[in-house]
Amino acid sequence: MLLKEGSDMEKMSNEKVTYKSAGVDVEAGYQAVSLMKQHTQRTLIPGVIGGLGSFGGFFEIDTEKYKKPVLVSGTDGVGTKLQIAFMTGIHDTIGIDCVAMCVNDIACHGAKPLYFLDYIGTGMLNPQAAAEVVKGICDGCIEAGCALIGGETAEMPGFYKKGEYDLAGFAVGVVDKDKVINGAGIKEGDVIIGLASSGIHSNGYSLVRKLFFDINNYSIDEYVSELGCTLGQELLKPTRIYVKTILELAERYDIKGIAHITGGGFIENIPRTIPVGLKAQINLGSFPVLPVFKLMQKLGNMEDKEMYNTFNMGIGLVLVVNENEVEQVMLSLSEMKENAYIIGKVTKGEGGIALCQS
C-alpha cells in the first residue's frame, strides 16, 4: 500500500498509550475509594441494604412508620465557596455544606432525610483531598441522620484547573402525606420566627470574593478584628443543618411553613412558603445581623435591599407558626439551644416581602 505524504499512517507513533498517560489514574481512584470507606461506614442507618460498590444504592422505606409515604428529593452544590477551600487547602468542611444545602431544603417540607449521594468532578484526582471532602459529607449526613449510600468521583483531565474540583449532592427524604409542610395553611396574623445561621452559609460567594479579594485586597489568612478570626476561617464556616430541630418541632407543633434562606436571601426564599394574597413583613432590628454581613455591606457600600436579596444576614431558616403557639415554640427552641427570634408576621398583600424598620 502506498502512503500519501502527511497521512495518518505516517503520523503514528510507537509510544505506548495508557489511560494514565491520558490523564486518568485509576490507581488513584482505587486509593480514594479506600480512604472514603472509613468515613462512609459511619453514616449507615436502619434501612440501608448492602454497601458501597454496587451499580445502585438501596434503601428500604419503613412502611409501618409511614402509612402514606411521600418521597421528597433535593439536589444542590456548594457554588463558588469551593474557591475558599482551594485557597486555604482545607477540604474537610465543604462536604457539610453540600449535605446541608440538600437536606435543609427537603426538611422544609417536613421530610426526614433518608439517604444522600455525592458527585465530585476533578481534572486530576487527589485521593487525600477527595477523602477529606467525603469525610465532611459523612459528618453532614450524621448530623442530618441520613446515610451516604453512593456517589461518583469523575476524573476529567483538561476540564478543571489543577487542584480544583466541583461538588454536588442529592438527598431523598420521606414524610407522611398528611404531614407535608407546604405553607397552605398560612393565614394573616401568623408569626415568622428566624433561626440563627452560622455565617454566610453557601450562597453569595461570587459577591463575597469580589468584595474581599477583588476590590479590597484582603488575604485569605488575614486576621480580621471585626470577625474575631482569619478571613478564611470565617468564610469556611459550614452551613448549619437544621433537620433535627425541624423534625422535633413538626412532631409537637403545627409548623405551617418553612423557608431555607439560601440563594436569593430573604426576598426570594420567604415568599416561596407564603400563599397567594399574603405577604411577609420582616422587622429589621428584630435579630442580630452577623458581623461578616455588616463588614461586607460597609466594604461594598451596599443597600439593605441588595444585602437581603443575596445573603441570609444571620437567619438561616424561617418558620411560620400560629400566633397562639409562638410562646411554646420559642420555649422549645430555647431548650434545643437554638438562637431564635420573632422577626415578623404574615399580612395581607400581593405576595413578596416587606422589610420594615422596627
Please state the rounded mean pLDDT for residues 145-168: 94
Backbone region of residue 83 per phi and psi (left: phi > 0; alpha: psi in -120 to 50; beta: other values): alpha
What cell was used for 99? 449535605
Give tens-digit pLDDT for 271-288.
Answer: 999 999 999 999 999 999
| Virtual torsion, Cα 298, 304, 307, 313, nearest 10 deg | 90
What's the predicted TM-score (pTM) here? Answer: 0.91
Q: Tens digit of pLDDT for each residue in 209-234?
A: 999 999 999 999 999 999 999 999 99
More confident residue, 8 or 322: 322
More confident: 199 or 36 = 199
Answer whether 295's CB lies under 8 Å from 224's CB.
yes
Mean pLDDT computed over 64-85: 96
Q: Is the pLDDT of residue 51 over 80?
A: no
- Under DSSP, the state recorded for 160 is S
Name the CA radius of gyration of the chain, rounded.
Answer: 24
Residue 29 — pLDDT band, cuts 50, 70, 90?
low
pLDDT score for 26: 58
Per the listing, cell 505516517 goes with: 10
φ, ψ at 153 (rounded to 5°): -115, 110
Strands (DSSP E) found in 33-146: 48-49, 58-59, 69-77, 112-122
Give the residue with greater pLDDT, 18 vs 257. Answer: 257
Q: What integer pLDDT is reported at residue 1 of this predicted model?
A: 43
CA 356 to chain centre: 28
Cα–Cα distances (Å) from 284 to 41, 258, 266, 304, 323, in that order, read 45, 19, 11, 10, 19
Confidence of residue 108 (pLDDT cuts 50, 70, 90): very high
| Choice among 5-9, 138-142, 170-174 with the minimum mean pLDDT | 5-9
Q: Say how far apart CA 291 and CA 8 lie, in whole Å.
A: 64
C-alpha triplet 139, 145, 151: angle, nearest 5°? 60
Average pLDDT over residues 329-350: 96
- Measured CA to CA, the distance from residue 330 to residue 336 in angstroms comes to 10
- Can you give the length of the chain in residues? 358
**pLDDT at position 18, please?**
62
Domains of the chain: 26-179 (3.30.1330.10), 191-357 (3.90.650.10)
Whether residue 88 is predicted with pLDDT greater than 70 in this model: the reply is yes
CA dihedral in degrees (92, 96, 102, 108; nearest 10)?
Answer: -170
State the angle between helix axes of 94-107 and 127-144 in degrees (0 to 180), rounded to the nearest 10.
30
333-358 burial, b at 16+ Cβ within 10 Å, e below that, comes to: beeeebebbbbbbbeeeeeebebeee
Cα–Cα distance measured from residue 168 to residue 95, given in angstroms and rounded to the nearest whole number? 9
Residue 292 neighbours by CB distance under 10 Å: 23
Least confident of 35-44, 76-85, 228-237, 245-254: 35-44
38-47, 320-329, 338-347: segment of lowest average pLDDT: 38-47
Contact of 45 with 147, CB cutoff 8 Å: yes
Does residue 34 surpass a pLDDT of 70?
A: no
Read off the pLDDT of each residue in 157-176 and give the average, rounded to a whole number: 95
